[in-house]
Structure 1
């Protein structure tokens, strides 16, 4: 997560069972929030803060914030494409993609 309100890399490809770690290298808080409708069928929903739905992540935003110099990680067990975003910076197009093969 960068100070330019982006994810770097914006897209990454991993293998099933691998873990992605997002590191907040900016000076503002960010979230990692999956678009619930954009994850593969049968996949586990993910969001910083441990929410089980996108609605909960949006409603309880402060509980999902990843502060500067902190990180969030998620292990991807289901193949497919996962779209995610930062709730407070979604309008700045702070979005990313994880492709699991």
Structure 2
């Protein structure tokens, strides 16, 4: 019979000690958390899905066109939280520039646009060509 140490047996998950689990410690370790990434779909039914997302400071929202109709993502500049960065697909500096340059900045089928939010607050946004019904909100807590 081959002799093995207790440490080898416990490490192999073959022997448990009183009050200890014989499960793999790596499998039960608490994962560390970091910035999250949240997906918002832009659909052919002219909707952001979900319409409202709640994230933490430092998290990123990724908008993806999942149908065949191109869309845009443009913040309502006057409604941004104080000190917050403006965002728009196409990386425009202002809402006026985004509106005036459309279709530049459009997000075509299968394409994405992402923005990381660094300031708490509510961020209302819209799709330029479908603004009458395609609006959304990012809530950063």
TM-score (norm 2): 0.70
Residue 94 of structure 1: aligned partner: 134
C-alpha distance in 1 between matches for 2:46 and 2:102: 17
Q: Which has the larger radius of gyration?
A: 2
Q: Please list, as runs of the form range in 1=range in 2, the aligned pairs for 1:52-71 lying within 5 A after superposition.
A: 52-71=93-112
Query: How many positions carry a matched residue from both structures?
Result: 100
Structure-2 separation of matches of 1:7 and 1:94? 6
Match of 1:79 in 2: 120
Give structure 1 stretches of 5+ with no counterpart: none
Higher relative contact order (CA 8 A, sep 6+): 1
Per the alignment, residue 7 of structure 1 pairs with 48
Give structure 1 regions of 4+ aligned residues with deviation exceeding 4 angstroms: none
Q: What stretches of structure 2 of length at least 5 have no aligned partner?
A: 1-41
The TM-score normalised by the length of structure 1 is: 0.97
Tell me if 1:27 matches 2:73: no
CA deviations over 1:16-65 (Å, ceiling 9, x no partner): 00000001001111000000011101000000000010000000012110
Counterpart position of 1:42: 83
